[in-house]
Structure formats: structure tokens, C-alpha cells
Structure 1
Amino acid sequence: MNKSNRRQFMQTIQGAAGASLALPLFESLAGAAATKLSSKAAKPPVRMAIYYVPMGVIRRGFFPGESETEIPKFVSEPKAKSLIEYKVGIRKLQSLTATQKPLESVRDKVTFVSGLNRTYRHGSDVHAQCGSCFLSSATGETVPSSIYPLNRTFDHVVGDSIGGETPFRTFELSCNSHKDNKESIYFDNISWYGTGHVATSIRDPRQAYDRLFGTKRMSLQRDITDLVLQDARSLQRKLGRVDREKFEEYFEGVRSIERQMDKLSKLKSNLKGVEGVNVPDSTESLMPRGEYIRLMGDLMIAAFQAGLTNVATMMIGPERWNTPYMFEGLFDKPVSHHVMSHNQKQFIGELLKIDKFYMEQFVYLVQRMAAVREFDGSTLLDNMIFTYGSGLGDGATHQYTDLPIIVAGGGGGRLQQGMHLHCAEGTPLSNLWLTQARALGLKGDRFADSLRVETDLLK
């Protein structure tokens, strides 16, 4: 679908106070032109999203065969090697490890990629590099004046190619709304326009909602679905059965987001009326962490559904911050992920729970994508490349080798699924980004320090 076609058939519904809600493409409304558009020659766009988890993982929980290996001490070994040798190549994804267990319901929709390494450059903190350079890994000669191997990140390179047909070339989200920052921007951002130029992430769900649906300047303090409700009811009567179900799914998804944000606003309002209570600024001080992550993810999915963006990033937490987080259902008080990661022997049980918790939120989003239907009968997940990953292979060793990577989605039918690919020793992470670029239709034989396309990942 070219740029003019996508914009021509982008549907909206109007309402009170000038409100308008962007909609997915409905074949019922566009008549013969849409029929032509949705023929075999035209397919839904392939989208890309990143789900970045901080502080690496506990290897014995994530990687096959390492469950009985020695628990590492706090060291700095950027080039530490995996404790287990796997056979190089691609094979069926067999048994899932403890941390991977939540993937069981979507096993045939994901591929586990192991053996990938990332560029390390002496002179700056390991945590700062692992977050800021996860999507870059530039070669030294590319950015000689910087202590970070950081150039234009992969999401923006992709956005330059497939994002121009959407209102938002890229869409950056962060699930860290705390204001007690004692670190530089390099610890808390994975998306960059270029060396030293950060692409600021949205951290407040209300701000993300306002940006997507244009409600910020509305004088009426009402949800957009209320403002367009009358027109929405009229629209439903014009839709065929399949499109009507698709509309109800999307509209209810946006309403669910609004209900969560309204609940948050009401809680803040009630707390302001309690004497002696300071209302916290951060979203996660008022909302359970898992609910916060899922809400931000739901906003991302709504943006994909409505054709507002084709490229998004989610940084689930910052690197090295010692700010405690409340992981609901895991602990009875807030804990510092970073502090615990340096003492795995003492906190191994707690850290394994956190890793699994983050995987559960990832799986929730994968399942949501699988439930979203496209105009041609496929799903959003079929046309998605959704990557879970971290810039550290282990939070104690601080290694940049053998990173934890899961790729979900079919990439428009171009990616293998339900597999485990183990890459040859010395394979750079940027090979994965180059491979994904190829699946997304980008030209070029190199990205950052890549060596080749990992053809085993492609169909």
C-alpha cells in the first residue's frame, strides 16, 4: 500500500468539540477502491516494535541448559562467553525454560535467537551503552568523537522507510515515569535520531493517548469515545459483519484504555483531598507495574490498528536506576531490580520472578496482537516483527555477549516462527536488525556493524 493510498482510505469518525477518532481500514466503507486495495496484490503493512527489558536476565532461568550452572558474582566481563555450547543453526523450539514458560501459548508465533553479541566501547558505563546502543551498535569509525557506539537507531532507520505513510513516523514509549533521575539520558532511552540526539519517549499514558487521538486541546473533559459515540453508532450500521466485529474490537479497546486512565485520574483526585498526603507524580506510584506496562502496550497496539504508526519502541525500565518498583503479585514492597541484579546469590529467586513477570507482559501484548484482525483476514501479529530483548546477557557479569532475544510475529509471512536459531560465535546483534530490515522491505546490505543477513530467520 503506497503513501497516498493509505492516507486516502484512513477512516475517521467525528464527534462533539471537534473530536475525531482514527479508525482501522474498513473494506465496507471504501467501496470498489478498497476492494482493489485489498486484493491479493495489496496486503496490510508490516510493522515493527521493540520491547526492551533492563538489567539483562538470569541466565539459568532464560537459557536452555544453564539451570544448574554456577550463579555468577558481580563482575564486569563484557565479553564473557556462554556456559553452554549449542549447535549452530535453526531448529524447532522445543522445551521452554522457566523464564520462557509464559511463551507456551504463543510458542508457534515466536522464535528464540541466541548467540548474538553487541558492540562494546571502553570509556562509558556498561548500563548506559546497553540501553542507548541496543538498536545501534555503530562501528567505532562511524562515531569517532563519541564514547558510545551510538548512531541513528534501527527504529528510525526503519521509520524513514515505512513510517512516512503514517501520522507518526515512529512512536516511542517508556514505562518509567519516576522523576528521581540521577543518571544521564543514556541509561533511560533506547531510541535516538543520531549521536547525542535522543528521541524523547512518552511516559504518561494520558499524554500518549492525547498525542494519538488529539484530545489535548479539548475544552470538554470527556473521553474521545464518548464524544464520537453518536457517529460511531451510525457508522456501525453501514459496516458488514466482519468489519462490524473489527470496529467493535477496536472501539472497545480504546474504551478500555480510557477506563483505566479515568480510574487513575479519579485516584489522583481523591488523594488530593486527603490532608497530609502528597500525590506522587509518577504513574507507577499509583498504578500496579504490570497494569502500567499493559496499558502502554495497549496504546501502542491501538496506534498500529488505526494506522497511526508502523514503528514503535517500548523501554520497559531504565538501566542502572536504583529506584524501587512495586511488582504486584511478586513482593509485598517495592524492590530495586538493579541492586538485586548485582547480588544474584542472595536474590536469585526474586530476580527469576522479575524476569518471568516481564515475559508475561510481553506475552500479553503478543496475544493482543494475535487477536487483532486485518482487512485481509490476517492478524496484526501476522504482519508484525515484535522483538523482546536486552542489551545485557546477564545483569551480574554485565556481558554484551549471548543476549536474550525473542522475536514474535510473522513479518508479513517473511519470518520463520516456532524456531530456535543459535548464531555462530561472534555474530553481532546488528545482523538481526539487518535481517529484520530485509523482511520489512528495506534495501541495503549493512546496518551498523552487521556482517550478513541471517537467512535462516527468513522464509
Structure 2
Amino acid sequence: MSKTLSRRTVLRGLGATVALPFLDAMRPSRARAASVMAGAAPIRMAFLFMPNGVREDRWTPEGQGTEFKLSPILSPLEAHKRDITVLTGLGNRASLSGDGHYAKTANWLTGTPIAKTTGKDLHCGVSVDQVLAKERGHLTRFPSLELGTDPIMSGVDRNVNYTMLYGSHIAWRTPTSPIPAEINPRFVFDRLFREDAAQRKASAEENRSVLDLVLADAKALRAKVGKEDQQRLDEYLESLRHIERRIDADIARVATGENLDPSVKESISQLDKRIADAMAKAPQHPGSQLRLDHTEHCRLMLDLMALAFQTDSTRASTFMFGWAVSGKNFSFLPGVEGGHHQLSHHEGHADKLDAYEKINRWHVEQYSYFIEKLKGIREGEGTLLDNSLVLFGSSIRDGNKHDPRNLPLVLAGHGGGVKGGQHILAAKDTPLCNLYAGMLNRAGVEVPSFGDSAGLLEV
């Protein structure tokens, strides 16, 4: 005999839970209409962090809306002008009270104040990429992918009395759990594409089918519902089994390279060789810091991110070109002598400003490279860029001022229907988190608010 069930009823077994479809036994609650678009490509989100701000008088485009001219620093994006949205006027109010870079880097993606600490009691917030990872991560091999080029910095910066850990992380799984970025491209490649058969078998045996774990609970439930509900329940469980088998097959397909699209397989092979070549030129002494050509290092990591998106290995990723006060030596650029952080404190000197601008433009060139990569990957009737949202920017406006207002930001891609080809001049001090809330909603993760948002920024 059937009985009324709560709509929150789930099947349980050994810690696993599976939500149920709507059954007659759950009436009289009104069923919510499903609005899943069959066959729709998933939305990917990437956040590319550039340390040390920008030369502000050479950053902002002329004009607004669709009638705008790219600035000298943004000029490398000319070929992608229809695919980008330049954002002016957004600020991170949560970082106004903190000194230096650390209080502005850690919370770039959280929009929450950080706890001032020299190492204990880290506290920031949950970053926007991790909100997406929590909602969509179960659909991919990896919930998120965190990449960088600089090792994690520890210790205390006595100039401002903040732990340097705050400057080494932009992704936060919880307010007290930052996620470190992997800086070795070989480790990332092997993690994504070199899982061997023995590892897969061991993993499969350890993580048996969730549906098998809850089968006993499902059988008990069948006895409590009517015949039509029993049929719906059986059909639902079989559908889940079908999806689970497809996911397992896809994991094996990506990990081994078997039955991959030839272009994907070739891309993986080429990237593997480039990584090998780059690593062969790096110092091999035990304990030595990884020192790759900086341009190639960044492009390898961006290519890994693109392949991770293309193979649907993850849908959320972050990349740090450098840590908060990166002193990366950019003397490899013509006309530049010295480190990034040093030159960002230009004090208005013309020679430093010129070098600072060249470093900014170099970062934009790498962003343009990534956009070009995504545009070159076909997906459905469009490209991977059409199904992505890629934010590039810094957590301060000008490195000499450490000002977190009117941040330098560019959004690329058309995921969720973003038009692109525009310069949005937002009202002064519009919360940065308005953008993040809007991006999440574009990706199908409906949130009423995020961080200190005061609405959704429509892009």
C-alpha cells in the first residue's frame, strides 16, 4: 500500500545518497518543471589572475557600449574584439581595509574580507569558481583545476604583517581552506591524461556503483509505493545506471586516449611533447625551483586548461600568472629591466611606467593566446569559447596605489548568452561580486547573491 512521501526523500547506502524523481506518492506538492536543455553544451568558467595591477592611464578603452576603441594595453585583443567585454567601474569593497597586496589577492574571487593573520586562523570566503565546482563538479572527472607558475609562498610579510599564504591563493573551497595551484605542467598533464588501467581498476573496485550501494534501500521503498510509482522508480534507477555507465566510459576514454576525436588525441600528443621539451631545459637538481621560460610556462598551463575544458575533465579553473607581489624578472621583454613588483611601484617615473605597460601588454597577449585557443576548438555548432566565460584581470587598479576600486577586468566568451563586443561602464563602485553572481547564473547556477553583491551585472 502506498503512502505519502516527502519530496526530500532520498535513497541511502554506505554514506551515498541519490535523490528521487517526482513520484505520485509525493503529491500534493506541485512539481517544478524541468528546464534542462537536452544536448546543450556545458558552460566552463576560467579566472586568470594578473598580479600587480596595470598602468591605469593606458588601460581603459575609449567610448562605451559597442562603440569603443581598445586601449594600448588591450590592443592585443583587437582580433577578438567581438568576443570580449571590457568592464570598467567594478570594485572589491571587501579589500578596502587591508594593507598591501595580500588583502586584495586572496579575496579577488570571494568578495569577502580576510582575517588579518600571520599564519594561524586563515579566513577568507568561498570563491566563485568553487561555487560552480560544488554544483557541477560531480559531472566531471575533476571538480576544478587550479594552475599557476609560482610556488606557494609561506612566512610573514613584516611590511604589512600578513601571512604570504594569502598572496599565493585565489581559489578557496571553504573560508578556511585555500586550494593551492599546481605549477608543474608535467604533473598536471599526467593527472589529466595518464591515469593507467591498473589505477582505474583499483579506483572502480574501491568506488563501487553508487546505485548498487543504495539498492537495498530502493527495494524497501518499492514496497511502500503504488504500482505506477514502482515503475517510475525502476525507470529512474535504470536511467541513472545508463548515465553512470556513460560517465565511466568517458573517464576511461579520456584517460587512455582510446576512441578520442583525432584532433583531440593529436593535441594531447603535441602538448605532451612540448612539456617534455620545456622540462628538459629546466634545472633538474633535486629541490631546485622549477624554472621554465615564463612565456612557454604560461602557455603550457593555458593549453592544459583548454584541453581540460575540451575533454570536459573540469568546468571550473583558475590560473595565477604570478603570486600577489610577484617579482618575476621581465627582462626578456625588449625595453624592460627588472622585476614585475618593483616596476609596478613606478612612482610616476616615465621609464618605469613604460616598462610596466609592456609587462601589462605581455599578460594581455597571453590572454589573447588563450582566447584564440578556445576559438579554434569546435564544439557543436560553435566553438569552445562560445560555451565559456573567461575572466582576466587584477585585484588592484594600479600597483603604485594598491587601490581595489575600478579594477582592470576583461570577460571573454559567450557562455550563457553573453554578447561580447562591448565596453561596459558600470556605476562607480559597483560590487565586483555583481559580475560573479551574473556569471554563475549564466552558467545555470542560480544564486540570489554572492559575496557582497547587490544585484546581477548583465553582460
Looking at structure 2, the residues matched to 140 and 332 of structure 1 have their Cα atoms a distance apart, in angstroms, of 34
In the alignment, what sits opposite 1:27?
Answer: none
In the alignment, what sits opposite 1:208?
Answer: 188
- Structure 1 residue 116: deviation in Å? 0.2
In the alignment, what sits opposite 1:41?
Answer: 38
* Offset from partner CA, 1:364-423 (integer Å, 9 cap, x none): 00000001111x2211000000000111011111111100110000014x1121001011
* TM-aligned CA distance change 1:326 to 1:291, over 3 Å: same
Looking at structure 2, the residues matched to 179 and 129 of structure 1 have their Cα atoms a distance apart, in angstroms, of 15
1:112 aligns with 2:86: yes
1:416 aligns with 2:423: no
Give the gaps of 5 or more residues in structure 2: 1-35, 158-163, 200-252
**Structure of larger gyration radius:** 2
In the alignment, what sits opposite 2:384?
Answer: 380
In the alignment, what sits opposite 2:161?
Answer: none
* TM-aligned CA distance change 1:342 to 1:128, over 3 Å: same
Looking at structure 2, the residues matched to 181 and 41 of structure 1 have their Cα atoms a distance apart, in angstroms, of 50
What is the DSSP-based 3-state SS (H/G/I as helix, E as strand, rest coil) of the residue aligned with 2:272?
A: helix
Q: Which residue, out of 143, 152, 157, partners 1:169? A: 143
What is the DSSP-based 3-state SS (H/G/I as helix, E as strand, rest coil) of the residue aligned with 2:45?
A: strand
In the alignment, what sits opposite 1:393?
Answer: 397
* Offset from partner CA, 1:216-253 (integer Å, 9 cap, x none): 8999xxxxxxxx9xx96x848xxxxxxxxxx2321222
Looking at structure 2, the residues matched to 47 and 391 of structure 1 have their Cα atoms a distance apart, in angstroms, of 22
Letter in 1 for 2:376: A
Letter in 2 for 1:54: P
In the alignment, what sits opposite 1:56?
Answer: 53
* Offset from partner CA, 1:303-356 (integer Å, 9 cap, x none): 11111100000011111243x4345343686x3111111124141111111000
- Structure 1 residue 204: deviation in Å? 0.6
Looking at structure 2, the residues matched to 279 and 147 of structure 1 have their Cα atoms a distance apart, in angstroms, of 33
In the alignment, what sits opposite 2:125?
Answer: 151
Q: TM-score with structure 2 length normalisation?
A: 0.71
* TM-aligned CA distance change 1:347 to 1:280, over 3 Å: farther
* TM-aligned CA distance change 1:398 to 1:452, over 3 Å: same
* TM-aligned CA distance change 1:399 to 1:40, over 3 Å: closer
Q: Which residue, out of 259, 262, 281, partners 2:276? A: 262
Looking at structure 1, the residues matched to 399 and 451 of structure 2 have their Cα atoms a distance apart, in angstroms, of 25
In the alignment, what sits opposite 1:240?
Answer: none
Looking at structure 2, the residues matched to 186 and 327 of structure 1 have their Cα atoms a distance apart, in angstroms, of 27
Q: Which residue, out of 428, 432, 442, partners 1:439? A: 442
What aligned pairs does 1:21-420 form with structure 2 within 5 A after superposition? Answer: 41-64=38-61, 91-121=65-95, 124-138=98-112, 150-177=124-151, 184-215=164-195, 235=259, 247-268=261-282, 281-283=288-290, 285=291, 287-322=292-327, 324-326=328-330, 328-330=332-334, 335-343=338-346, 344-345=348-349, 346-374=351-379, 376-412=380-416, 414-420=417-423
* TM-aligned CA distance change 1:427 to 1:147, over 3 Å: farther
* Offset from partner CA, 1:157-176 (integer Å, 9 cap, x none): 11111222001111111121
* Offset from partner CA, 1:177-229 (integer Å, 9 cap, x none): 4879765210111001122311111111011112112358999xxxxxxxx9x
Looking at structure 2, the residues matched to 437 and 42 of structure 1 have their Cα atoms a distance apart, in angstroms, of 20
Looking at structure 1, the residues matched to 170 and 370 of structure 2 have their Cα atoms a distance apart, in angstroms, of 19
What is the DSSP-based 3-state SS (H/G/I as helix, E as strand, rest coil) of the residue aligned with 2:341?
A: helix
Looking at structure 2, the residues matched to 118 and 452 of structure 1 have their Cα atoms a distance apart, in angstroms, of 14
Deviates more, 1:361-370 or 1:179-188: 179-188
| Partners of 1:290 and 1:327 within 8 A in 2 | no
Looking at structure 2, the residues matched to 267 and 217 of structure 1 have their Cα atoms a distance apart, in angstroms, of 31
* TM-aligned CA distance change 1:123 to 1:385, over 3 Å: closer
Looking at structure 1, the residues matched to 289 and 318 of structure 2 have their Cα atoms a distance apart, in angstroms, of 20
Q: Percent identity?
A: 25
What is the DSSP-based 3-state SS (H/G/I as helix, E as strand, rest coil) of the residue aligned with 1:134?
A: coil
- Structure 1 residue 41: deviation in Å? 3.3
* TM-aligned CA distance change 1:176 to 1:417, over 3 Å: same
Looking at structure 2, the residues matched to 63 and 213 of structure 1 have their Cα atoms a distance apart, in angstroms, of 40
| Partners of 2:94 and 2:113 within 8 A in 1 | no
In the alignment, what sits opposite 1:82?
Answer: none
Looking at structure 2, the residues matched to 97 and 119 of structure 1 have their Cα atoms a distance apart, in angstroms, of 26
Looking at structure 2, the residues matched to 122 and 40 of structure 1 have their Cα atoms a distance apart, in angstroms, of 41
* TM-aligned CA distance change 1:217 to 1:43, over 3 Å: closer
- Structure 1 residue 98: deviation in Å? 0.5
What is the DSSP-based 3-state SS (H/G/I as helix, E as strand, rest coil) of the residue aligned with 1:94?
A: strand
* TM-aligned CA distance change 1:218 to 1:125, over 3 Å: farther
* TM-aligned CA distance change 1:288 to 1:331, over 3 Å: farther
* TM-aligned CA distance change 1:137 to 1:235, over 3 Å: closer
* Offset from partner CA, 1:112-150 (integer Å, 9 cap, x none): 010001024576433012211000112699xxxx99882
| Partners of 2:168 and 2:180 within 8 A in 1 | no
What is the DSSP-based 3-state SS (H/G/I as helix, E as strand, rest coil) of the residue aligned with 2:392?
A: strand
In the alignment, what sits opposite 1:451?
Answer: 454
Q: TM-score with structure 1 length normalisation?
A: 0.71
